[in-house]
Amino acid sequence: MDKEQINNKEIEYDTKLDELRAEIDRIDSELLPLFLRRMELSSGVADYKRGVGKAVLDSEREKQVLMSKMDLVEGKRQKNEVYEFYAAIMSISRERQTRELVGCNRTMVEDLLDPKSPIDDPKIVFYGAGGSYTEQAAIKYFGADSKRRSVPTFDGAFSELESGNADYAVLPIENSYTGTIADVIDLLAKYGYFITGEVDVPIRHCLLGVHGAELSDIRTVYSHEQGIMQSREFLKTLGEVELKEYYSTSQSAQKVATDGDKSKAAIAGRQNAELYGLKVLAEDINNSAKNTTRFIIVSKNLEIDESCDKISAAFTLPHQSGELHRILACFARGDLNLVKLESRPLYDRNFEYMFFVDYCGNLLDGHVRRVTNNVIEGTGEFKLLGNYKLKE
């Protein structure tokens, strides 16, 4: 094919493309007034629901409508496209109704917002023992002169908040290698307290033993389960050693120092060697050189200011097909970046789940509140877990 033939072919393709686009524009011009009329009718539905106190979401009716529309076309691909089309329209309609019903005796995000000011000179508890990575996170967030003390368990940290003995608790929530620390997110949902900040701490595990010990002497290694998982490859090189999960990395170091047994070692940070008088038997033993843990600051009170850019929430959904897809569509259509989604089992309901999400935004912004309200309307139970910012 010569150059002239190629040019003619390109002109032919461009002409055809222009014709297709013109036809799409014509169809869109016909769809627009119908869509606007449909939205007016949605407002009428909102007025009716306001009068009788009905919820915006009627998931059973939505499901029936979607199935009936899919039945009008043949072919799996067309059915899927029709489903997506009408699901989007109904989601937009539901958002308008939700917006118009805010303040009409409905629990919306505005009802959950009662932010307090940060506490001056706070009392802080952190998980583990002195020298733990969690204490490093507390120092990074609150400063070296902060009033802080340790608690041996996650539940204990929440109990200290509940009793008023502490204003803030510092807890690990996620590791870059092993993922979410499930016990902590379960406790967040249980207590209904709030994340007011987060801080990242690089993890540099060492194997610590008593002075005089060598690697060949070690028969038992203590650490928190996360420390063991994060150092699994190194531990394989030790041969036949017993791995024992303990309360935390720092408490493991404390135990090894107290026992004074050359056959015992702990996986913990280097700072624990000096603190507890231990010997560093091996350094940087974590599987990943980029190992980092995210720590959260938890309070009984919600704190939000203009700098906050991350929202955490938990919710349940009706145990029906398509429910999670519908909620995810709220974030996508609202242009809010969903950065994390995971589920945890509901202990009183077999094979049903609480979903935990992190997404970008500030609830002082009206658009973010509207999208969040649309999410709330579509959930069974909704818990706001915080709106906060990472401390660099």
Q: Tell me which of 142, 194, 295, 356 is the catalytic residue.
A: 295
Coil, strand or helix at 268: strand
Coil, strand or helix at 388: strand
Residue 187 in contact with residue 296, Cβ under 8 Å? no
Residue 235 in contact with residue 224, Cβ under 8 Å? no
Largest CA distance in the chain: 88
For this structure, is 35 an active site residue?
no
The 3-class SS string of 77-141 reads: HHHHHHHHHHHHHHHHHHHHHHHHHCCCCCCCHHHHCCCCCCCCCCEEEEECCCCCHHHHHHHHH
**Which residues lie across from 268 on neighbouring strands?**
206
**Cβ-based burial of 5 (10 A; exposed 0-12, middle 13-18, buried ≥19):** exposed
CA 123 to chain centre: 26
**DSSP secondary structure of 161-195:** HHHTS-SEEEEEEEETTTEE-HHHHHHHHHHT-EE
- In this structure, what token pair is assigned to residue 247? 């309360």
Q: Tell me which of 134, 178, 293, 372 is the catalytic residue.
A: 293
For the chain, how many residues are written?
A: 392
- In this structure, what token pair is assigned to residue 299? 């309070």
Residue 166 in contact with residue 193, Cβ under 8 Å? no
Coil, strand or helix at 266: strand
CA distance 34 to 56: 22
For 329-392, list the strands marked E by DSSP.
338-345, 353-360, 382-388, 390-391
Cα end-to-end distance, the chain, whole Å: 60
For this structure, is 295 an active site residue?
yes
**Which residues are the active-site residues?**
293, 295
